[in-house]
Amino acid sequence: MASSGLELVALQGTNSPRVAELSRQYGGKPYQEFESFLTHQPMDLIIIGSPSGLHATQGIAAAHRGLHILTEKPIDVSLERADQLIAAVKGAGVKLGVIFQDRAKPAICQLKQWLQDGVLGKPLFVNARVKWYRPPEYYSNSKWRGTLALDGGGALINQAIHTLDLMLWLFGDVSRVQAHKATMLHAIEAEDTAVALIEFSNGTIATLEATTAAYPGYPRRLEITGTEGTMVLEHDRIVSVDLRRVSKQLKVDAAGDSNQSASSAAVTDFRGHQTVIRDFVEAIQQNRQPLCNGEEGRRSLALVQLIYSAAKVHCDRPSPD
């Protein structure tokens, strides 16, 4: 994955054969130990793609070395550790970014602009569906997926967090949540299915369905209805625009990513990630905030934790006699 102005100088991972193969393929010195990796010179920034529960710990160690940090979502699985990471980067004077590539996709940016322009009028309600499928080996062949310690949960925090970040980006803060979660299919300690009713501070009401148990897996879908009509986003493409009246020419960019996210965890279309990385480098060069900084990345984790808390209250209620 090439990005202008960047040179890969070092890689680190606990799977030594895989790290060595990546080093041969893309360059960079291979490391197995994270602390040794951080001592590599010269190095200006690191991109963290480790299990979610390690993001903050590794990011804090990097900040103490004066390194800029771009981490995969979520920022961590613990709000306390996320706050410690945010404080550490501020103290070190380095940049922190969280990879939520939806914010860089053309069709989604167009949708946000239309909402800001009032094309849909006042947003009323939203239906979000992340009805994906992951085979049993997705979990059984991993030491961390579906675990509470390193994944922080299941379908909600790993797969649906992109959609939660997107809704926060589009509609703002959340005021109230009701939820239920369950482990319906997979042999994991976390949930593979969750549903939530979300009320935003602006009055918009949303429903979320998230699962990794819906064989064979279906494209993510976001239906947004306002006082002036409805728009539908599916697989990161605007597939439907139905308005009471058209006050301006609406140009729809039908292009989306080509990742088969509904049925596979493999990332084959890197364009969104490339845009995020380019933006992060420019944020360093221009001394500005990246597309999704630490505080923004924390918001989606906070919403995930709020949904988990609401689901626990639901599960803890006594059954009626």
Give the tokens for residue 1. Answer: 């994955």
**pLDDT bucket at 319, cuts 50 / 70 / 90:** very low
Structural domain span for residue 239: 106-265+303-311
Q: Does 171 map to a domain?
A: yes
Are residues 174 and 187 located together in one domain of the fold? Answer: yes
Residue 40 is classified by DSSP as -
Does residue 59 fall inside a structural domain? yes
Q: Which tokens hold the place of 257?
A: 């990513």
39 and 96 housed in the same domain: yes
Of 42, 59, 54, nearest to 94 (Cα)?
59
- Residue 270 burial class via C-beta count within 10 angstroms: exposed 0-12, middle 13-18, buried 19 and up: middle
Distance CA(308)–CA(257), nearest Å, equals: 30
CB atoms within 10 A of CB 310: 19
Residue 168 predicted with pLDDT over 90: yes
Same domain, 218 and 242: yes
Reply yes or no on whether the pLDDT at 137 is more than 50.
yes
Same domain, 93 and 110: no
Whether 205 and 127 map to the same domain: the answer is: yes
321 found inside a domain = no
- Are 81 and 143 members of one domain? no
Q: Is the peptide bond before 74 cis (omega within 30 degrees of 0)?
A: yes
140/255 same-domain check: yes
- Residue 1 within any structural domain of the chain: no
pLDDT digits (tens, 9 = 90+) for 51-109: 999 999 999 999 999 999 999 999 999 999 999 999 999 999 999 999 999 999 999 99
> Does 144 score more than 90 pLDDT?
yes
Q: Which of 314, 301, 79 is nearest to 195 (CA)?
A: 314
Residue 316 in domain: no
171 token code pair: 């509609």
**Is the same domain home to 135 and 216?**
yes
Does 52 lie in the same domain as 188? no
Lowest mean pLDDT among 36-40, 116-120, 253-257: 253-257
- Given a contact cutoff of 8 angstroms between Cβ atoms, the answer to whether 82 and 305 are in contact is no
CA 9 to chain centre: 26
Q: Has residue 320 been placed in a domain?
A: no
Residue 241 CA, distance from chain mean position: 26
Name the E strands within 65-172: 68-72, 96-99, 123-131
Q: What is the CATH number of the domain that holds 50?
A: 3.40.50.720
Which pLDDT value is given to residue 250? 74
Q: Is the same domain home to 241 and 144?
A: yes
Q: Residue 279: how many CB atoms within 10 A of its CB?
A: 19
Tell me the pLDDT tens digit for each residue of 223-274: 999 999 999 999 999 999 999 987 666 776 556 677 778 777 777 777 889 9
* Same domain for 56 and 174: no
- When divided into structural domains, the chain yields a total of 2
Instruction: Provide the pLDDT confidence category of residue 320 given band limits of 50, 70 and 90.
Output: very low
Q: What CATH number corresponds to the domain at position 213?
A: 3.30.360.10
For residue 143, the surrounding DSSP H or E stretch is none
